[in-house]
Structure 1
Amino acid sequence: MSLQNKTILVTGASKGIGRALALLLADKGVNLSLVARSEAELITLKSEIEDKGAKAEIFVGSVGDEVFVKACITSTIEIFGKIDALVNNAGFGIFKQASEISTQEWDSIYETNVKGTFLFCREAIPFMKSAGKGHIINIASDVAKRVFDGGSLYCSSKYAQDAFSMALRKEVRKDGIKVSVVYSGLVDTYFHTREEGDPYQAKYLTSQNMADTITYILEAPKHVVIDELMIHPMSQDY
């Protein structure tokens, strides 16, 4: 399915997977709404997208802020007239023993990884229902299916995001709305303690690998929905 002139909102768009996805979608003629906390990085990305001849609007704020999320969706509709797809990519991790996790750390992870996904879905769905179509892609992690020592906070947030996505899929399928979840393994991004491009991460997935995968899901024919997609580098033993 061609993505030309589609309107797609991407959260966590300023770097890593979100940035690579935005640039790839721009090459395909997509109108983009881009959400992140970093204004400077979003301004640079918007300029690069416009140099490609595509259109982009940027929104700076927290995905866990209900007022901000409502404004993002409303403005996207006002500017582009529709929202064809939503990619909930924003997320981060804190890894430590449960006994060492602060309440603030717990809340901050859940606000971004779970609440942010919920808020953007909730606000976008009514417009998708009115259109009789739409596509939501939630970028989870392989730890939505497994756990590890030191991962109680991050793993539980991804389990919650996944459970929400699975239930949501059953709710909106009858309305013509697709819900897909991508479970990624190790990706060479800023997410890790090492910088992107560090030789230690040379065998990880790249942001471009992830962007290609997400775009593949978006381009599936209208009658096809890729409910779940698990992706790993060959170097990672799941």
Structure 2
Amino acid sequence: MNDLTDQVAIVTGASRGIGRAIALLLALQGAKVVAVARSAEELEELNAKTHGLAIPADVSAEEDAQHIINETLSQYGRLDILVCNAGVGSFNLLENFEAAEWDRIFDINVKGTFLLCKAAVPHFKAQGRGHIVGIASDVAKRTFEHGTVYGASKYAQDAMLGSLRKELRPHGVKVSTIYPGLVDTYFNDSKPGAADSEKTHLRPSDIAQAVRYILEAPPHVVVDELMIHPMTQEW
């Protein structure tokens, strides 16, 4: 297995939910965690447990994305892992969506992934190794009512990561995508711990364990895509 001790890992959307669970687990495995989110207060609380680096930032802003990479390299001298987890969602009939909501969802889910990867890829290629893990969604593989905008963003993110996987493979850089089903988080203004959520939803720690599984795979093993969803979820 690949040892995560002292590997430098950026995790976006780390202040709560899936991102927080990933950051905590990677720190537990000995990684140096760079936690990124918009909430400075929540990041500081997390950083007290991970003992890494906290960077308040908006991943959809190009200068912020480059700042995240620059600060990581300045602090640790290298970057081994990039987990693109930051994401937002909203569900409605297509005609009820405002263009501004389309922009918000695509800015975080698609543009944010693009900008972080764009800033990190030259470093990964130069060192001949690295691992990008994108947290997509099972809706990148299916469609459903009220999911026109969110689903479109996840299809776009999935296509981008899939193409990037082929671009970077000759350079020794891995790109993996995880497709979670329903997860008990704050997503779409939900509150964790809702009635029966333990029976119908995955836990953030389930996704964190999936990330760990991918990252700890031996160097010659490549996990391109990993679907994870509760057995009760209907397709």
Task: Give the TM interval when normalised to the shorter protein.
Answer: over 0.9
Q: Distance in 2 between matches of 1:8 and 1:49?
A: 12
Whichever residue aligns with residue 97 of structure 1, its letter is L
Q: Distance in 2 between matches of 1:140 and 1:28?
A: 23
Question: How far does the alpha carbon of each residue in 1:26-81 deviate from its partner, in whole angstroms, 9 at most, with x for none?
Answer: 1111111111011111000000123xxxxx11111211000011011011011111
Matches within 5 A, 1:29-178: 29-50=30-51, 56-178=52-174
SS of residue paired to 2:187: coil
Which blocks of at least 5 consecutive residues in structure 1 are unaligned?
51-55
Deviation at 1:199, TM superposition (A): 2.1
Q: Distance in 1 between matches of 2:216 and 2:70?
A: 25
Q: Distance in 2 between matches of 1:182 and 1:34?
A: 19
Q: Distance in 1 between matches of 2:65 and 2:115?
A: 7
Does residue 210 of structure 2 align to residue 213 of structure 1? yes
Deviation at 1:192, TM superposition (A): 4.4
Which blocks of at least 5 consecutive residues in structure 2 are unaligned?
none
What TM-score do you get using the length of structure 1 for normalisation? 0.96
Q: Distance in 1 between matches of 2:55 and 2:210?
A: 25
Whichever residue aligns with residue 219 of structure 2, its letter is K
Alignment partner, residue 26 of structure 1: 27
Are the equivalent residues in 1 in contact too, given 2:181–2:229 (CA < 8 A)?
A: yes
SS of residue paired to 1:220: coil
- Identity between Structure 1 and Structure 2 (%): 48
C-alpha RMSD of the superposition: 0.9
Alignment partner, residue 53 of structure 1: none
Does residue 9 of structure 2 align to residue 8 of structure 1? yes
* 4+ residue runs over 3 A deviation: none
Alignment partner, residue 232 of structure 1: 229
Q: Distance in 2 between matches of 1:194 and 1:79?
A: 35
How many residues of Structure 1 are paired with residues of Structure 2 in the alignment?
233
